[in-house]
């Protein structure tokens, strides 16, 4: 029998009013089970219908992307008050899944651990370090050309970071495709120009490890490499994030994943100013 995830009540989850507004768009945390389901339907639409992810039978039947982490995470939503879904609710057009260390303890660990050995990273930092795992980020296709959509998501993340005094954000980010040779330019660029320091190094799990160093550093055209990066990964590295060692092929999602290491102390000053973190 297939176990179908049914989202439980959001008791104990963080619930805030609107965090930021741009025209008809607003960003806030999901406050109800129905809003979590809206985020899951958006993820299904983007990952499975638009891209090449392969849903489980339960996901296909429900039209939602879900896993057990959804029960304990906070779900950041960009909502378009001028548009509505088939149930007449304001449409969710962007989402991010946020998991703090307390949430991970309830879920049995971080999602990222399924691809990367993050135990040395967690053990090597002071016990007072506060972590935030970022994941399941997506935006409805028709809203990706609107800068306000991604900016609102990031404003929401930064507000959350400030509220919980987060020290380190991390997670997996994806390049479309599962042939690392076809992704040699972006993978090699990230390896040579944005590797995290050795003392912080996180490696892909040995059974999943894919070499990122596929081209010599001197062979890389930096401008071309930047153009080849997905917008989300480009934004991460421009803001000051580093990249872990080794990529991972995610065949369910049809992607090649890299590890994002983003200490808040290293965030670029321009981004602190843009998203209000400096204050």
CATH number at residue 155: 3.40.630.30
Specify if 155 maps to a domain.
Answer: yes
Domain that includes residue 227, residue range: 20-274
pLDDT at position 274, please? Answer: 63
Specify if 8 maps to a domain.
Answer: no
Task: Give this prediction's pTM.
Answer: 0.89
Specify if 15 maps to a domain.
Answer: no
pLDDT at position 171, please? Answer: 97
pLDDT at position 4, please? Answer: 37
pLDDT at position 86, please? Answer: 86
Residue 276: Cβ within 10 Å count: 12
Specify if 6 maps to a domain.
Answer: no
Find how far residue 93's CA is from the centre of its chain.
Answer: 15
pLDDT at position 15, please? Answer: 65
Number of domains in the chain: 1
Distance CA 257, CA 253 (A): 10
In order of 5, 22, 46, 158, 268, the CA distances from 147 in angstroms are 33, 10, 18, 17, 19
pLDDT in tens, the chain (279 residues): 233 334 444 655 666 667 778 889 999 999 999 999 999 999 999 999 999 899 999 999 999 999 999 999 999 999 999 998 888 899 999 999 999 999 999 999 999 999 999 999 998 888 899 999 999 999 999 999 888 999 999 999 999 999 999 999 999 999 999 999 999 999 999 999 999 988 788 999 999 999 999 999 999 999 999 999 999 999 999 999 999 999 999 999 999 999 999 998 877 777 666 665 544
Is residue 39 a contact partner of residue 95, using CB atoms and an 8 Å limit?
A: yes
Specify if 89 maps to a domain.
Answer: yes
Secondary structure element (H or E) that encloses residue 20, with its range = strand 20-22
């Amino acid at each position: 029998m297939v176990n179908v995830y049914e989202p439980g009540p959001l008791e104990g989850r963080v619930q805030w009013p609107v965090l930021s507004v741009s025209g008809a768009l607003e960003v806030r945390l999901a406050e109800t089970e129905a809003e979590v389901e809206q985020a899951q339907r958006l993820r299904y639409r983007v990952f499975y219908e638009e891209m090449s992810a392969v849903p489980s039978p339960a996901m296909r039947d429900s039209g939602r992307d879900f896993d057990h982490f959804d029960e304990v995470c906070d779900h950041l939503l960009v909502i378009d008050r001028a548009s509505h879904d088939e149930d007449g609710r304001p449409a969710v057009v962007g989402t991010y899944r946020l998991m703090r260390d307390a949430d991970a303890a309830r879920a049995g660990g971080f999602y990222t651990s399924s691809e990367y050995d993050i135990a040395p990273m967690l053990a090597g930092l002071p016990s007072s370090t506060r972590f935030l795992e970022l994941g399941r980020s997506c935006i409805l296709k028709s809203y990706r050309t609107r800068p306000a959509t991604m900016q609102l998501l990031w404003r929401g993340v930064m507000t959350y970071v400030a509220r919980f005094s987060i020290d380190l954000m991390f997670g997996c980010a994806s390049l479309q495709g599962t042939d690392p040779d076809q992704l040699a330019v972006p993978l090699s660029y990230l390896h040579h120009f944005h590797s995290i320091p050795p003392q912080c190094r996180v490696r892909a799990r040995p059974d999943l490890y894919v070499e990122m160093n596929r081209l010599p550093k001197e062979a890389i055209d930096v401008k071309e490499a930047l153009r080849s990066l997905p917008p989300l990964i480009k934004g991460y590295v421009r803001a000051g994030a580093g990249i872990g060692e080794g990529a991972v092929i995610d065949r369910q999602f049809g992607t090649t994943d890299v590890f994002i290491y983003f200490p808040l102390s290293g965030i670029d000053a321009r981004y602190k100013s843009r998203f209000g973190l400096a204050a």
